Amino acid sequence: MNEQFAMQVIAHQALTAEQYQDVLQLCSTVYEEPLAPFEPWADEAGHVLGYLQGKLVSHAMWVSRFLQPTGAPLLHTAYVEAVATLQEYQQQGFGTAVMLRLQAEIIDYDLGGLSENPDFRFWYQRLGWESWRGQLLIRTEQGLLPTPGEHCMILRLPKTPALDLGSSLSAEWRTGELW
């Protein structure tokens, strides 16, 4: 990896207007669709920004969520969102460096989680993430709502209890993307 690469960990509320716009532009470019401003639930998010010679080339963020395996208590989860590295900087270790830094930052959570993208499953597995095999559900005021077609990965952290990856896993309802 290039020695001119530097990372910054910053709370969402502390992002400057320029940094916020750079993150939105980076993610919109990588995802090939406009990334809307982050939902209100992201106000307490943490970001890892990866800069190469002062240019933002890689990003990942986490938000607090509460995932719950069947029969277990709520787990305070660092839920990873908006992982992106500009195409011309991929396959050079920048995304891996940002994710490893994020993983070090979330060590005090009960669990790490993210919405699984099958195209990147093996990359996340290489970083220690595991695919959840059981049914995924969303907790609503009316009860549990099945979310067929959704996939989740988890990262075991020091506080993670024993888990059965084949059991059901639920998350709280939120606006925007459920998982």
Q: Give 102-114 pLDDT, tens digit per residue.
A: 999 999 999 999 9
Note whether residue 61 is domain-resident.
yes
Which pLDDT score is estimated for 108?
98
| Distance, C-alpha 52 to centroid of its chain | 22
Spatial contact of 75 and 42, defined as CB atoms under 8 Å apart: no
The CATH number covering residue 93 comes to 3.40.630.30
Q: How many whole angstroms separate alpha carbon 178 and alpha carbon 173? A: 6
Please say if the pLDDT value at position 57 is more than 70: yes
Region 36-55 average pLDDT: 90
Give the chain's mean pLDDT.
95
Note whether residue 104 is domain-resident.
yes
Note whether residue 144 is domain-resident.
yes
- pLDDT of 114-146, one tens digit each? 999 989 999 999 999 999 999 999 999 999 999
What pTM was computed for the model?
0.95
Which pLDDT score is estimated for 59?
98
Spatial contact of 59 and 48, defined as CB atoms under 8 Å apart: yes
Which pLDDT score is estimated for 1?
67
Note whether residue 145 is domain-resident.
yes
Which pLDDT score is estimated for 52?
97
| Percent with pLDDT over 70 in the chain | 99
Note whether residue 178 is domain-resident.
no
* Residues spanned by the domain of 166: 5-172
Residue 29 tokens, joined: 């470019």
Note whether residue 18 is domain-resident.
yes
Note whether residue 125 is domain-resident.
yes
Beta-bridged to residue 170, according to DSSP, are 68, 137
* Overall number of domains in the chain: 1
Q: Which tops the pLDDT comparison, 128 or 176?
A: 128
Note whether residue 29 is domain-resident.
yes
Tokens 């993150």 sit on residue: 23
